[in-house]
Amino acid sequence: MGDPQPTPPHPPTASPRALTRRSFLRASAVFGGGLAALAAALAPLRHLDDFPTLDQFLQKYYRELTPAEMERILRRIEAEVEREYGVRPQVRDVKPLTGVEYVYAHNLTRCIGCRRCVHACVAENNLSRTPEVQYIRVLRLPHGSLDMEKADHNYAPEWVPEPDHFYMPVQCQQCRNPPCVKVCPVHATWQETDGLTVIDYDWCIGCRYCAAACPYWARHFNFTRPSIPKGQLNPDMAYLGNRPRRQGVMEKCHFCIQRTRVGRYPACLEVCPTGARKFGNILDPESEVSYILKHKRVFIQLKEELGTSPRFYYYFDV
């Protein structure tokens, strides 16, 4: 700490703050050196090429945007994507349909664990290829057990299915009581009227609290700038769906909002070779999912005991 006596006696005639040449030089040297060290420390910022523009920085929260503002933002995003990927996309803000609540049902008896759904999802939803982000994780479980600790995530046999195993793909379960929505400090993720939990990628601050809260490991973080090879971009985009994400934000499965809200099936369902995946409107008593939930004897909501009440059901063909 040094000398506790901060006021050494001065001769009364001398001005205390008189600048001598020497003290001036010394102060300048210290100041200059400090400035140089600070500049050197901040040097990596020269490589910053993702700095937000003023428009991006000041962009308002999704649910507070007027239609006109939304329109302007969509056009801006289209221009940004075109500049980066050389393709003019169509970015829409697709709203939930009234009288619709989406439910997914997955037939564990039929699933062969081929992971086609995983890769169809990557392509459809413009997921980063390096590092690769995937919304669907397929677990290989030993016959007779739902204990996830026995799951093999990296199975790679020559042929699937393998004897004595079954396969369980896990993606966002679109919970009725989503823990991720509860914990988000800035309302960047919420549940829409059709049951989809979505993320405003331009509002998320990247604290990853939702990732800690999710019991299904469904939320994925962009640890660096996502990269998609030119030519592999899916130009049919939705604001809350598959438009390219930026570094430092969360993303997750949204049941292909850009497809399902205009009456198409999710990409993972379309690609499934065994018809294990069923998707539809639970509020429509005639829908396939309504039939399944009414007539199958057993179905499972993953980790039901947590009270999250998933809209993703697993069932068996018995």
Report the site for another protein in 29-88 (rule: CB under 8 A).
Answer: 37-38, 40-45, 47-48, 51-52, 57, 61
Contact between 11 and another protein per CB under 8 A: no
Pair of tokens at residue 23: 């003290």
Q: Which residues pair with 106 in a beta bridge?
A: 277, 314
Of the pair 151, 237, the CB lying nearest another protein is at: 151
Gap between the Cα atoms of 22 and 202, Å rounded: 54
Contact between 213 and another protein per CB under 8 A: yes
Region near another protein per CB under 8 A, out of 75-83, 104-112, 213-221, 269-277: 213-221
Convert residues 132-161 into a mask of x (bound to another protein by CB under 8 A) and - (unbound): -----x-x-------xxxxx-x--------
Contact between 104 and another protein per CB under 8 A: no
Show the 3-state SS of 158-226.
CCCCCCCEEEEEECCCCCCCCHHHHHCCCCCEEECCCCCEEECCCCCCCCCHHHHHCCCCCCEECCCCC
> What are the Cα distances from residue 22, in Å, to 6, 18, 26, 64, 299?
21, 11, 6, 60, 84
State the DSSP code for 51.
Answer: P
Q: How far is the CB of 206 from another protein (least distance, A)?
A: 2
Q: Which residues bind another protein (CB under 8 A)?
A: 1-7, 10, 16, 37-38, 40-45, 47-48, 51-52, 57, 61, 131, 137, 139, 147-151, 153, 170, 179, 182-188, 203-209, 211-217, 220-225, 246-250, 303, 306-308
